[in-house]
Structure 1
Amino acid sequence: MKRRNFLYLTGIGVGATMMRGVPVFGTPIAPEAALEYIDPAAKKILTDVALNAARAKGATYTDVRIGRYLNQFVVTREDKVENVVNTESYGMGIRVIANGCWGFAAIDKMDKDSIAKAAATAVAIAKENARLQSEPVQLAPQKGYGEVSWKAPIEKNAFEVPIKEKVDLLLSVNDAAMKGGANYVDSILFFVNEQKYFASTDGSYIDQDVHRIWPLFTITKIDPKTGKFETRNSLSAPRGMGYEYINPRESDKITGGPSVLYKDRYDMLEDAKLGAKQVTEKLTAKSVEAGKYDLVLDPSHLWLTIHESVGHPTELDRVLGYEANFAGTSFLTLDKWESKKFNFGNKNVNIVADKLQPGSLGAVGYDDEGVKTKQWDLIKDGILVNYQTIRDQAHIIGLNESQGCCYADNWSDVQFQRMPNVSLQPGKAPLKPMEMIKNVEKGIYILGDGSFSIDQQRYNFQFAGQLFYEIKEGKIAGMIKDVAYQSNTQEFWNSCHSICDQSDYRLGGSFFDGKGQPGQVSAVSHGSSTTRFNGVNVINTARKI
């Protein structure tokens, strides 16, 4: 990843305040060019060139990915349009096994001669790598599916919506925040369309169309007397949906708490109006008293804790130490899984991995190895029961097939193990968030994600958020600030007291989950209902030690 892209992605992960200019992910194109269509039959002809050339050079297995990656950014600040960017990245990645070892090459010159040369290069790399490899690659068996397709079940393609309509929305959001008392506001709409074609010597030719959307803003309010300021980021979640995501339905509204939220939609304008009021409240909110609290965590917050403390440590390559040099390993070592009784959390904790959930960021029909996606248990009744694997890892834990967790963020990058959607299952008994709060004597209700830190084994951690409300004797007593909670993964998930029912289940997620060397990013969702954790240590982040 280029340095400027890294800086942008880091900034966008914590808010929109750093977005003055948007980096280019590929070649700039006209907005209407994003609607052009490439016939799968033409792609099949090109992938067959690569498959045949690799086989002729000695490859025993080959897969080919043609990718067309489209991005659109619409960025505003207060009453100004800061940037509108449309980009396209188009090319082919060729992965082979020769002499028992992987080789990879990529190319953006999509003529037959160039493709054949790239395939030959991939085989040559594999043979050279094989000189250093002690054991051959073991691929889990995978049947070919022939010619198939999968399209995200969107209602409205965001790339078809006029730029003016998008600009008008963002400027109305900014105007509402400014009228509500904000001093500054940034807002952005970010759209992604991945058009992916996969072919392999297993006999699959898979055409997929993936869509993602992320609306977000940051509101800043300054106290003119003290010069101190507070911010409130949007409570939106990036989603695997079309433009319908930001057209809320009244039936999806979740009411009763301090923020208005929607189950499967997002009202950007309403969130901005409320955000302006809440950022003003944050300026005068009292600072938290450190101590033990029962935490009531909204899905807009809990998704990040799930991502870091469950999603990453159950990645099998991290468990095996492949990530140790860059982003750490995992405390969930194989011996804990083999024991079949490792107490990850209490019996309330059931966590599922899946690549199927409609509207999620990770939903696809097939992964980047041509494996049909599915759902499986990671944590069952509090016990570690499985990991996340791809084809060359499956045999390590005795699986007969891959779980479909392979992904590359671009045609030019080699695919490897990436996180599926990882979600906490809702409670079975009827329970709403405000009913949950009625039974809390001393607690804190947390909404939105914030800063966090976690150790190299994904065990000891600290998380903050966007909004914090003190709970006293079963009632919300008012806003507080300077809150972060500390725990370790096992202790935290064993403190899970109760989980709201399916009606409160919502998705959060990350557009830019980083991993690997060279670094790649992926998009992944994490679902939950509002969840209570008892006796968690809370610190005051404003107080100096």
Structure 2
Amino acid sequence: MVPLPAFSRAIDPAAALVPLLDVAQKKALADVVLNQAKGLGASYADCRIGRYLNQFISTREDRVQNIVSTESFGAGIRVIASGTWGFAATNDVTPDGLKKATQQAIAIAKANAKIQKEPVQLVPVKGYGEVSWKTPLQKNAFEVPVKEKVDLLLNANAKAMEAGANFINSNLFQVNEQKYFASTDGSYIDQDIHRIWPTFSATATGKDGFRTRQALSAPMGMGYEYLDVKPEDKIAGPNGLILYNRSYDIVEDAVAAAQQAKAKLTAKSVQPGKYTLVLEPNHLGLTIHESVGHPLELDRVLGYEANYAGTSFATLDKWETKSFEYGSKLVNIFADKTQPGSLGAVGYDDEGVKTKRWDLIKNGILVDYQKIRDQAHILGQRESDGCCYADSWSSVQFQRMPNVSLAPGTETRSVADMIKGVENGIYIAGRGSYSIDQQRYNFQFGGQLFYEIKNGEVTNMLEDVAYQANTKEFWNSLTQLCDESDYRLFGSFFDGKGQPSQISSVSHGSPTSRFDAINVINTARKI
């Protein structure tokens, strides 16, 4: 059973379509907070009024396991008083309830000031007045009847079982964040954000055990139109593999997954050694997430954050040299919270900063980090990157990973062109298990599908494959990139950080990419 988000209550799906407050009402309530905070001596204050809707549908084979629709509604109030942050939240979104929460936030800030060593320094941000932003939608997933969504999942299950799967479970996750932000800087920002993720896990059994293939879908910042598959969004991979971009056919993928899980049962076990790896975007996105996205979060770099796999090897001294070779000259990695269809796409972050694109690694050199308003001054910078986020009105906002992506190559190159030049390699598709150390440096990654490449041709399916490297060694081994036509998004729907834990969603784009002389191990040791 999927646990309910904190402070949520179960609702009838139809209730999700009924608005609670209009923009004028939200502004009036936010002004209560801002005026109260200034009157109590705050040098800065912001108020987030949030309504968070979630729907989770879970099925297994021919039955529905769980359907959960939840709503969470409240306000989070953040202030600076006596040079120190204070935060409080309430589900009593009335003038009296907001006044009490504001008083609590001020009291917390003044108490924290007794142990604060340096005052909070915010880089400036202009007030935007009254503005709004919405995820571009063709079909609101919350307006689609639950039965239609259940029927789709059960049809995918049935087709997979017909194709050879012995077990399959499928899920559909939907999120709608209705967020209103107001601050003493003069911003009143209303946003309506949607995300969706259809996924499954298909298993085939045999005399020697079982094999599983998970969905090759990418969670997206889109509506239900993501499941209205368009022929032009299908990509032909090696050995008849079908990949998807910007729309997704869950039934077709489930059938392929059943067939491939069955084929895995008799696939050749990999011979350990050094290989050229050809990594497709749905796979490479997870490696980007763990070996670039997290270590370039400035709070990890500074040691302020260590939950969920530690701090970072990419320390300030490396950035200060302006010559640290994070990767080869082909490695151009950028952050971007404006990418259409991405999980991290919003107009403004959760402290009222307009989102943007910026470089993290340029021609292989580390050039910047991810930072928010109270961090930028540490690097001598005068602008936030707009990557502050809270997963609920009841959570305090803090620095979260934006979309972090590998730019495609500038030379015309297809996947077939790339494979032609590989003598001894492995093509890897889909994300699998992984491990990485506390400095985000030494790692190991698996995948979903593995195919041997011999003398420029894809041959047999392989099994028991994982590759090992350290971050610098791995990214310096990048020797080829496919062009923009192959650029696709991977997504992490439940990225954890912080204590108490918060969840965010983030996408990572890349083209299919070639890495030379990477150490591959056999995870089963049955050669």
- TM-score range relative to shorter protein: over 0.9
Question: C-alpha displacement at 1:54, in angstroms?
Answer: 1.3
- Does 2:333 match 1:351? yes
The amino acid that maps onto 2:129 is G
Normalised by the length of structure 1, the TM-score is 0.95
Deviation string, structure 1 residues 99-151 (Cα, Å, up to 9, x no partner): 00000000001111111010000000000000000100000001100000000
Tell me, yes or no, if structure 1 residue 221 matches structure 2 residue 204. Answer: yes
Q: In structure 1, how many angstroms separate the alpha carbons of the residues matched to 2:46 and 2:233?
A: 42
1:24-423 paired onto structure 2 within 5 Å:
24-25=4-5, 26-37=8-19, 38-223=21-206, 225-226=207-208, 228-258=209-239, 259-324=241-306, 327-423=309-405
SS of 2:326's partner is coil
**In 2, are the aligned partners of 1:432 and 1:504 still within 8 Å (CA)?**
yes
The alpha-carbon deviation at position 84 of structure 1 amounts to 1.1
1:457 counterpart residue number: 439
How many residue pairs get matched?
A: 523
| Structure 1 Cα separation of the partners of residues 308 and 447 of structure 2 | 26
Give the Å deviation of 1:257: 2.1
Secondary structure class of the residue paired with 1:192: strand
Say if 2:76 and 2:396, in contact at 8 Å, map to a contact too.
yes
**C-alpha contact 1:326 1:517 (8 A) present in aligned 2:** no
Indicate the percent of aligned positions where both proteins have the same amino acid. 68
User: How far is the alpha carbon of 1:252 from its aligned partner?
Assistant: 1.7
Cα offsets for 1:454-502 (capped at 9, x unmatched) = 1111011000001100111111111010000000000000000101011
Query: Any unmatched runs of 5+ in structure 1?
Result: 1-20
Question: Matches of 1:324 and 1:354 in 2, distance apart?
Answer: 24
The equivalent residue for 2:483 is: 501
> In the TM superposition, what whole-angstrom CA distance separates every residue of 1:243-265 from its partner, at most 9, and x where no partner exists?
01111111122114232112211
Secondary structure at 1:412 match in 2:
coil
* SS of residue in 2 equivalent to 1:284: coil
* CA separation of 1:450 and 1:67: change in aligned 2, threshold 3 A: same
| C-alpha separation in 2, matches of 1:175 and 1:23 | 27
TM-superposed CA distance for 1:399, in Å, is: 1.1
Matches of 1:265 and 1:325 in 2, distance apart? 34
- Three-state SS of the structure 2 residue aligned to 1:159 is helix
Q: Distance in 2 between matches of 1:487 and 1:152?
A: 38
1:58, distance to aligned residue in structure 2 (A) = 1.4
Matched-pair contact (CA < 8 Å) for 1:77–1:185: yes
CA distance in 2, matches of 1:126, 1:183: 57
SS of residue matched to 2:105: helix
Q: Flag structure 2 segments of 5+ consecutive residues without an equivalent.
A: none
Q: Which runs of 4+ in 1 moved over 2 A?
A: 324-327
Which of 453, 466, 470 is the equivalent residue of 1:471?
453
Separation of aligned partners in 2, 1:325 and 1:438: 43
Deviation of 1:544 (Å): 8.4
Q: State the Cα deviation string for residues 169-217 of structure 1 (Å, max 9, x = none).
A: 0011000100011111000111000000000000000000000000000
Task: Look up the match of 1:12.
Answer: none
Q: How far has the Cα of 1:44 moved from its partner?
A: 0.7
SS at 2:514 equivalent: strand
Determine the structure 2 residue equivalent to 1:9.
none
SS of 2:238 mapped into structure 1: coil
Q: Secondary structure at the match of 1:118?
A: helix
Q: Which residue of 1 aligns with 2:3?
A: 23
> RMSD in angstroms over aligned alpha carbons?
1.1
> Which of 460, 480, 483 is the aligned partner of 2:462?
480
Determine the structure 2 residue equivalent to 1:526. Answer: 508
Helix, strand or coil at the partner of 2:15 = helix
- Separation in structure 2 between the aligned mates of residue 282 and residue 492 of structure 1, nearest angstrom: 27
TM-score, normalisation: structure 2? 0.98
